[in-house]
Amino acid sequence: MQLESLIKRLADGAWHRVENADDCGTELAGVGLELEIQSDRCRLPYPIDVLSATAIASALPAEVQLDVAAVVDSTNTRLLRRPPPPAGTTRALLAEFQYGGRGRCGRAWVSPYGSGICLSLAQLLEPAPREPGRLSLVIGVAALRALRQLGLDGAGLKWPNDLVYAGAKLGGVLLEAAPAGAALHVVAGIGINLRLPEEAARRIAADGGIAATDLNAIDPGYCMRRNELAAALINHAVAALAEYRRAGFALFREEWNDADVLKGCEVKVSGAETVAGVAGGIDAAGALMVRAGNTTHHVVSGDVRVRSV
């Protein structure tokens, strides 16, 4: 049976009779899912809220063109390979599974089939924004707004692009861009952990960065609201990009700083140069301000570690 149809059939988490249960187990292991097998019957260890293009599209404005894929290398890579959508429109791509999911700093983004949100949005920004680095922070704020819409308060932002909850990473943003004449083809990728199997959490921890968490650990009810979350993320990202183009970064800076989990923490930023000091929020350009003695460093890129809180 085709992978997508097999998972749709097993998505309710109940026992099902299948032909060649062992082969099905091998196939699902390839996309990060475990199958419980009892002779010719099998089940997923938990139900999956399979993505529904119809349900999500019904919550989106007409200028968003949505595609939902079962398996891709990376939703960001897919959209970057295509020509940009016409200015004023958005192309959104969601995938159940990415076999080459990408995070910041060359890291992999691990998300077993149906266990998270793997979303990318492409837009043609005309004229090209002067400070494209701020776009990733704008998308971080948009993702936080989407989580709040679903009732999740208490999530925060860790510079430059992590969504965190209780000190652990719930998701992240990967913003990529390619020049297109006087315009900029922007692809914003958002990954959110919904239900990370232990094996995936171990792989993420082994890859460095902060420990991972998922929405399931916060409230298992979120796992069956995947389509709602996907639609909320798309709507808030599209609205935030329009708001940024119209009104600028000032309000996003304020909202970002309100959600900043690093503020007042002793941090060490490794990037082009290493900077250690006390984090003091982002400046008008979106750079992280780090105070060391009488100097405030404005860090534009790097990986941040908290030294003490």
Residues at the site binding ligand BTN, with contacts judged by CB under 6 A: 74-76, 98, 101-104, 107, 109, 118-120, 161-162, 172-174, 189-191
Least Cβ distance, residue 8 to ligand BTN (angstroms)? 22
* Closer by beta carbon to ligand BTN, 18 or else 214: 214
> Which one-letter amino acid corresponds to residue 294?
N
Least Cβ distance, residue 55 to ligand BTN (angstroms)? 20
Least Cβ distance, residue 222 to ligand BTN (angstroms)? 17
* Closer by beta carbon to ligand BTN, 101 or else 114: 101
Least Cβ distance, residue 76 to ligand BTN (angstroms)? 4
Least Cβ distance, residue 247 to ligand BTN (angstroms)? 26
| Euclidean distance between CA atoms 289 and 278, whole angstroms | 8
Least Cβ distance, residue 176 to ligand BTN (angstroms)? 9
> Which one-letter amino acid corresponds to residue 109?
W
Least Cβ distance, residue 119 to ligand BTN (angstroms)? 6
* CA distance to 91, 136, 190, 204, per residue, from 245 (Å): 18, 13, 20, 35
* Closer by beta carbon to ligand BTN, 10 or else 282: 282
| Euclidean distance between CA atoms 126 and 186, whole angstroms | 11
Residue whose C-beta lies closest to ligand BTN: 172
* Closer by beta carbon to ligand BTN, 119 or else 141: 119
Q: What are phi and psi of 270, to 5 degrees?
A: -105, 125
* Closer by beta carbon to ligand BTN, 78 or else 253: 78
Hey, how many other C-beta atoms are within 10 angstroms of the C-beta on 251? 12
| Euclidean distance between CA atoms 133 and 287, whole angstroms | 9
* Closer by beta carbon to ligand BTN, 3 or else 118: 118
* Closer by beta carbon to ligand BTN, 114 or else 189: 189
| Euclidean distance between CA atoms 44 and 195, whole angstroms | 13
